[in-house]
Every structure is written in structure tokens, then in C-alpha cells.
Structure 1
Amino acid sequence: MRQSNLDSCKIVSLPKIPDRRGNLSFFETDNQIPFKIERTYWIYDVPGGEIRGGHAYKKQNEFIIALSGSLDVIIEVAHTIKKISLNRSYEGLFIPSGIWRHMENFSTNSLALVVSDTEYDAEDYIRDKNIFYNFCDENAK
């Protein structure tokens, strides 16, 4: 796993095509997102106060959009934490591998879309924060 930093996480503005009948936005591989999409999933019906995520990836990069409602993405590297609020369906958050992340503060009826550059692989996850901190500490030396 490479060591990323929080500055490598970026809000990406997506094209927005306004129309009186309703707006349209989109994203494309290698245009708005810097990877080929291999997997798509969505998170919804999150009960109040629940947290989703709570892990880092060794290889996977991902892009998160709040298609409806809002949520906060908490990212962390080397004991440095940053909160990013997503609440516009024409903006997404790119998160490279090597970043600890979790999502919280989901609004009622929120819908988060996540696309990634890998298929699901349980071995790609770091689910123990102490192991993640050790990795960050080792790479900071």
C-alpha cells in the first residue's frame, strides 16, 4: 500500500446541465475521475447516528457522491483528521488508497453512490485502526 496524504483527497465538480425539467450531471472514466470503474455500490437507509466505513484500502481508489441528501466523510492519515461534507449531487469526493475513512451524519433519505477501481476483495481492507496507524507511522520515518 502506498502512503497517501489528505491533500490527495479532492472534491471534484461534475458537469451540470441545467434544464427547466430537471438537471443532469455525469462522470466518466479518465475525465472527472482518474480511474477505470470496476465496481459501483450505494449506501442508503442509514439509521440516524450510524457510521459506515471505518477502514482503509491497500489498493482501491474510490469516488463518493451524495446523490440525495447529505453526509460527512471523515478521512485520516497519520493521526491527522479532516471532515468533508457532501451535499450536492454534482460534486464528488475522490479518495485514493491508503486513507482511513468513514461516513457519518447521514441526512434522512440520503443516498451515497460509491464507484471504485477494483472489484470487491476482502484482503484489500485494513479494518484495524492500530494496524493502519502503524503503517502511517512507519511511512512517516
Structure 2
Amino acid sequence: MIEKIQDCFIPEGSIIAESVTFGPRVVLAGEGIIIRSNVRIDAAAVIGADVTIGQGAWVQAGSVVLRSVPPNAIVQGNPAQVVGYRDGDGTQRGPDPKHVDIHAFNHLPRPTRVNLGVGMSKLFLMRRILDVRGALSVGELPNEVPFVPARYFVVFDVPSMEIRGEHAHKHCQQFLICLHGSCRVLLDDGKNRCEVTLDRPDMGVFMPEMIWGTQYRYSPDAVLLVFASRTYEPEDYLRTYDDFLKEIERRKA
């Protein structure tokens, strides 16, 4: 079955939120496309199969989107690249996230922690020991890692176009280490954003509660290890950016 919305044909198996705005001549070129709420797609844009467009994103005119797009991102070009970010309600362009350069901290003694300027998020630079037998990275709990984990999970075999995360937690804290390959982590506290490329096992990102986290641009060989401070609790998740912003305002009241 093919549906038609504002002159854009929606392939079967795709999920399109009601609040998506389509320009003319937009092409959804394949199945498995997910477009979340408050997305704007301008004229003559092409969205590839199995692509997810995150909540509040803006696909500019003529863009060819072959990889998934993080929430609130502005993408442009062929193939489309992130060129900026919208503010929380999508009404205007917001400040672009700072991309953290790990090499700027090579002079610091290890282990050390670097504030990322997004809530209480931190970059952890852990000890790395090298000798002729190989390399070792180590972190002691809870002195060198911010909490004693209640569980862990491992993300791997992720197609590079896929977005992971896209949620926040009310109470759970997480610590992310990319053991192999690389991925990019976007952290958002509702006002400030930053991106960190995790590409080595002696570097971790601490993501406390009430931080919207997105992981994307996985390399084909990426293995992401995530420690969590709590067991799995479905009610602890904030799964839409709107709910995340509402919870921030509720806590301020």
C-alpha cells in the first residue's frame, strides 16, 4: 500500500509522524524510512532506504540523505552532512554543538576528567599501559569511574546509517567506551550540546541522568560498551525530545 502526504509518496514499512512538514517533490526512495515528529523536509530532498530522521531535524532543499540524522540536526548536500542544529522547539537555528578534540588533552596526566559543558557530562581519560606484550587500559570502580555499574550492554554490528540512543533517563547514569572502531556521541542538556568521537578504549564519556544522548556514525567494526548505574526500568526512559524538555521544565518548577 502506498500513501500520499503533501505530494510525497510514503512507501510501505515506513513510519512518518503526523507533524512532519514536506516540501514539494520530496522523494522517499525505499522502505524502512522513519521520520520522527516536527521534522522539516524541504523541496526536492531525497531520503534513502532505512534512514531515520530524528525529531526536530531539518533536511534542506535538494539534500540526498543516505545516513540517519540526529534530533534537531540541520543537514545539507549530496550526500547530506550535518551543517548545524535547531533550537529545542525547532523555531530557529540553535548553537552548533562543540566537537571535543581529544588531542587537546594529551598533555594531561591520567586518569583525569574533563568537563564537557553539557550538564554534568564528562570526558574520562583513563590509564593506558603499553609494553611488548600489548596494551592495557584500566579504570577502578568507583574511584576512577563515576559509579558502580548495575548492568552493562554492548552495541555492535550497527549499520553506519543507524542512530542509536535517542533518549534520556530520569535517574540512570551511563558510561560509554568504544572498545573497537569508532562512533560519535551527541550530548544535549536541553540548552547546550557537544559531540565526542569515541575511537579508543582508554577514553570514556560519562552521561548523567537528564542528558539526551544520541550515538551515530558507527564504523562497521564499532563495539560500544555501556555501563549503567541502574537495572533496566522502562519507566525511567524519556523517549521523545518533547518529553525530555517537559521533564526539564517540571524539575525547574
> TM-score when scaled to structure 1?
0.90
User: Given residue 125 of structure 2, which amino acid in structure 1 is its aligned partner?
Assistant: S
Is 1:105 paired with 2:217? Answer: yes
1:48-59 alignment runs, 5 A limit:
48-59=160-171
Higher-RCO chain (CA-CA 8 Å, sequence separation at least 6):
1
Distance 2:172 2:250 in 1: 20
Q: Give the drift of 1:14.
A: 1.2
Q: Give the drift of 1:28.
A: 2.2
Distance 1:138 1:88 in 2: 38
1:1-141 alignment runs, 5 A limit:
6-139=118-251
Question: Per-residue displacement from partner, 1:44-85 (whole Å, max 9, x unpaired)?
Answer: 000021000110001111100010011111111124321111
> Which residue number corresponds to residue 73 of structure 2?
none
Percent identity over the alignment? 32
Contact 1:13 1:90 in 2 (8 A): yes
Q: Give the drift of 1:91.
A: 0.6
User: Given residue 14 of structure 1, which amino acid in structure 2 is its aligned partner?
Assistant: M
User: Given residue 170 of structure 2, which amino acid in structure 1 is its aligned partner?
Assistant: K
User: Given residue 118 of structure 2, which amino acid in structure 1 is its aligned partner?
Assistant: L
Distance 1:62 1:134 in 2: 21
User: Mean alpha-carbon deviation: is it higher for 34-43 or for 23-32?
Assistant: 23-32
**Dislocated runs of 4+, deviation >3 Å:** 137-141
State the Cα RMSD in Å: 1.5
SS at match of 1:113: strand
User: Given residue 15 of structure 1, which amino acid in structure 2 is its aligned partner?
Assistant: R
Distance 2:138 2:245 in 1: 36
Larger of the two Rg values belongs to structure: 2
Higher helix share: 1
* Structure 2: runs of 5+ lacking an equivalent: 1-116
Distance 1:53 1:137 in 2: 22
> TM-score when scaled to structure 2?
0.51
Distance 1:7 1:130 in 2: 18
Contact 1:78 1:137 in 2 (8 A): no
Distance 1:61 1:42 in 2: 16
